[in-house]
Structure 1
Amino acid sequence: MATKNKGFLEAFEEVGKEKGIALEVLFDAIEAALISAYKRNFNSAQNVRVALDRTTGEFHVYSVKNVVEELENDITEISLADAKRIHNDYAVGDVIETEITPANFGRIAAQTAKQVVVQRIREAERGNIYDEYSSRANDILTGIIQRIEGKNVIIDLGKTEAILTPAEQISLEKYEPNERLKLYIVEVKKTTKGPQILLSRTHPGLLKRLFELEVPEISDGMVEIKSVAREPGMRSKIAVYSKDEAIDAVGSCVGQKGLRVQAIVDELRGEKIDIVKWNQDPATYIANALSPAKVVSVAIKEDEKISKVVVPDYQLSLAIGKEGQNARLAAKLTGWKIDIKSESQAAESGMDEGMEVINVIGEESFSVD
């Protein structure tokens, strides 16, 4: 006896193609689910196999028993003597399958198959979303604020939703539904409810990716971003460099009349940005990093990555910055500890022994204030 479901078979094939699910994977899942459905609906403890005919769409239920010399478990076994009554060729170790498809199994089979297909579609879609966004980790995307849940901001990405947690939000920003934002993909996690995409507005990578979008010379590899330091929503520093002396790395990032960097500042809602030229010479690089302040000299202890910087007296507050922000960002950008003194302070205390003192003329830089 067989249960016919030709229409369902055609539907499975259609769904499989549309959702990118291999048909054999889908059929195997349906067969496994039907075994459970059979045992549940017919109160059966039998060892059964359910087969779906790939051509006709018919469902068949078979009782499966192993041929044994002496019967110990009549649910999974059949004695050799009883097997011989079915067919004389049976021997110990053979498997006997007997069709036991119930008359009303069609309705159960159809309902179960539908549930499996829906589940597999959901799993496939979740898998596709995970694959798509996990491959874009550390990348930038544009999303629309869907809603605010507590302190979390839920972002609509089109195919799915993502989360902007409080830790990844810029404290000075106000988020409103339907606003469009550029965001950085921090991490994509697999969960029982599907992929969880964690976004950021504070990550230094967001600033780096924004420059890559706005500056063709960076995306083309002609200008390289060497380092980024951010205090999100307040101020950032970015160090850039070009091997080609004919290319102005800082000017490329600034753009004509400052349009390129201004677009990034607007996206970050007024975050101030200093663009400085990277230099392999630590003293010059440190001087550049302290832009917009002018530097007189830099003393370095390279093995400890410690530097002492002298600036004109009138430039001291600018070099240090409000609440130490400029000096702090310069240290993050360069990876060096920076101690700043005015010329008069340096004259009184002198420079530490064992440090090489270099008179420095800072290179080109640009600051958006």
Structure 2
Amino acid sequence: MSKELLNALDALETEKGIKKEVIIDALEQALVSAYKKNYGQAQNVKVTFDAKRGDIKVFAVKEVVNEVLDSCLEVSLSDALEINRAYEIGDTIDFEVTPRDFGRIAAQTAKQVIMQRVREEERQMIYNQYSRYENEIMTGEVERRDSRYVYVNLGNVEAVLSKRDQVPGEVYNSHDRIKVYVYKVVDPNENQNAEQNEEEGKKKRRNRGPQVYVSRSHPDLLKRMFENEVPEIFDGTVEIKSIAREAGDRAKIAVYSDQEGIDPIGTCVGPRGERVKAIVEELNGEKMDIVEWSEDPSEYIKAALKPAEILEVRFDREDDHACTVVVPDTQLSLAIGKRGQNARLAAHLTGYKIDIKSESNMEELDRQSEEEPEENFELPETEDVETEDVISIEDIEADNE
């Protein structure tokens, strides 16, 4: 068994890159537990493995004392001096206690330890490999799907694509090659610790190993695609300030450049729209609105609501991140967008709560405000203006729900 074990350790180090010292250390610890289980004592026992000859020996470690109270743990000074005249009180002496049949136990334990270590090292190697790709794009092949996930083969690991990370309307068939965004890689050791009180869940985690989560709907997928297609974004000449995305349908991207002579929008669109076209094709026709970011909130909001024409942006005095946008009567539907999408994306892009009102309705509200008596300059709290031309983000989202 000794020769076979040494050969196995050498093969593991060569083929799997698992150092012999790591397995030997784990093996010695496991053999102590095996000795305790089979022979009823191990509090003062240690097991050594000879890495050159492959011999396994068990030693009882005893402390040198004047008076022996427990012969399993202690040895008298007089007996110790018979072994070696250099021993003193407090020293420890190893006495070999290797059982005759310990080789069989050692062989079984060695097999279990090696298999466990191989699995752990392989999982850790996979984690180390794919953790480097966290927050990056990878290309994988769809393997299968079930009620919860689409499973994507990334090479050495099977990543999971949950329903919320899928793009509505996209169909994922076996052997399809797709680009995915790796947004989380979970360490297998963290998996075990997180579920240490749930035995069944813990076993599943151990069998599964490191878990890689990928997405097709994440806004940062779009950001990485633009970095790949637009060199000026990759090198920092043009910066993506914000992204608002409704995956599979439409997205708005705010870009900026502080260098004179650089058109950030034109740079992202590319000659004849080739750069943005490549991204649109990869995302199966998802529409892209590229707008220029501005330090001026009013200008930024106007840009975010394009292609609608904006007449005025009024900011709420009581809420720093709320405003009312006034548009021509003919532009109201365009500003709001189909099912409120344009207004909703603009709000997410800018971080402002946006109310959109038509020009005629705004004039009516201003007139009513001017007609109020000076002593009653505040509108009654219970009074609401009802008109089909006044639409807010909250109304839109409530209708959608």
TM range (shorter): 0.7 to 0.9
Which residue number corresponds to residue 41 of structure 2?
A: 45
Matched residue of 1:298: which SS?
A: strand
Which residue number corresponds to residue 248 of structure 1?
A: 263
- Residue 329 (structure 1) shift: 0.5
Distance 2:241 2:84 in 1: 80
Matched residue of 2:32: which SS?
A: helix
Runs of 5+ consecutive residues of structure 1 not aligned to the other structure? 354-369
Distance 1:249 1:206 in 2: 19
Which residue number corresponds to residue 353 of structure 2?
A: 337
Distance 2:59 2:173 in 1: 60
Which residue number corresponds to residue 191 of structure 2?
A: 191
- Residue 86 (structure 1) shift: 4.6
Which residue number corresponds to residue 325 of structure 2?
A: 309
Moved more, 285-294 or 248-257: 248-257
Matched, 1:227 2:242: yes
Matched residue of 2:245: which SS?
A: strand
Distance 1:220 1:10 in 2: 51
Matched, 1:200 2:196: no
Moved more, 314-323 or 105-114: 105-114
- Residue 127 (structure 1) shift: 1.6
- Residue 156 (structure 1) shift: 1.4
Write 1 or 2 for the structure with the bigger share of helix: 2
- Residue 145 (structure 1) shift: 1.7
Equivalent position amino acid for 2:129 in 1? E
- Residue 22 (structure 1) shift: 4.0
Q: Is 1:286–1:330's contact at 8 Å kept on the other side of the alignment?
A: yes
Q: Is 1:140–1:182's contact at 8 Å kept on the other side of the alignment?
A: yes
Distance 1:308 1:54 in 2: 77
Equivalent position amino acid for 1:258 in 2? G
Moved more, 90-99 or 325-334: 90-99
Distance 2:333 2:174 in 1: 41
Which residue number corresponds to residue 275 of structure 2?
A: 260
- Residue 149 (structure 1) shift: 2.4
Asked which structure has the greater RCO (Cα within 8 Å, sep 6+), the reply is: 1
For residues 302-353 of structure 1, what are the alpha-carbon distances to aligned partners after superposition, in whole Å with 9 as ceiling and x for unaligned? Answer: 8713222222222210110012110111011011122222222233223999
Q: Is 1:240–1:275's contact at 8 Å kept on the other side of the alignment?
A: yes
Q: Is 1:6–1:58's contact at 8 Å kept on the other side of the alignment?
A: no
Distance 1:23 1:291 in 2: 64
Which residue number corresponds to residue 172 of structure 1?
A: 169
Moved more, 162-171 or 205-214: 162-171
Question: Residues 181 and 73 from structure 1, CA distance in 2 versus in 1: closer, same or farther, beyond 3 angstroms?
Answer: farther
The two structures, once aligned, show a CA RMSD in angstroms of 2.6
Which residue number corresponds to residue 96 of structure 2?
A: 99
Matched residue of 2:93: which SS?
A: strand
Q: 2:131 aligns with which of 130, 134, 158?
A: 134
Distance 1:131 1:73 in 2: 49
Equivalent position amino acid for 1:334 in 2? T
Distance 1:259 1:106 in 2: 70
Distance 1:90 1:251 in 2: 85
Which residue number corresponds to residue 218 of structure 1?
A: 233
Equivalent position amino acid for 2:253 in 1? I
TM-score by length of 1: 0.84
- Residue 285 (structure 1) shift: 1.0
Distance 1:16 1:247 in 2: 55
For residues 64-97 of structure 1, what are the alpha-carbon distances to aligned partners after superposition, in whole Å with 9 as ceiling and x for unaligned? Answer: 2223333333332334455455556544322221
Distance 2:45 2:115 in 1: 24
Matched residue of 1:350: which SS?
A: helix
Q: 2:304 aligns with which of 267, 281, 289?
A: 289
For residues 276-296 of structure 1, what are the alpha-carbon distances to aligned partners after superposition, in whole Å with 9 as ceiling and x for unaligned? Answer: 111111111111111121222
Q: Is 2:254–2:290's contact at 8 Å kept on the other side of the alignment?
A: yes
Distance 1:170 1:247 in 2: 33
Runs of 5+ consecutive residues of structure 2 not aligned to the other structure? 193-205, 371-401
Q: 2:28 aligns with which of 16, 28, 31?
A: 31
Distance 2:271 2:48 in 1: 69
Q: Is 2:35–2:41's contact at 8 Å kept on the other side of the alignment?
A: no
Q: Is 1:298–1:309's contact at 8 Å kept on the other side of the alignment?
A: yes
Matched, 1:150 2:147: yes
For residues 257-283 of structure 1, what are the alpha-carbon distances to aligned partners after superposition, in whole Å with 9 as ceiling and x for unaligned? Answer: 222222222222222221111111111
In the alignment of these two chains, the number of paired residues is: 349
Matched, 1:271 2:267: no
Q: Is 1:45–1:75's contact at 8 Å kept on the other side of the alignment?
A: no
Matched, 1:349 2:396: no
Matched, 1:120 2:135: no
Q: 1:319 aligns with which of 335, 345, 359?
A: 335
What percentage of residue pairs aligned between the two structures are identical?
53
Distance 1:290 1:96 in 2: 82
Distance 1:85 1:26 in 2: 37
Moved more, 88-97 or 176-185: 88-97
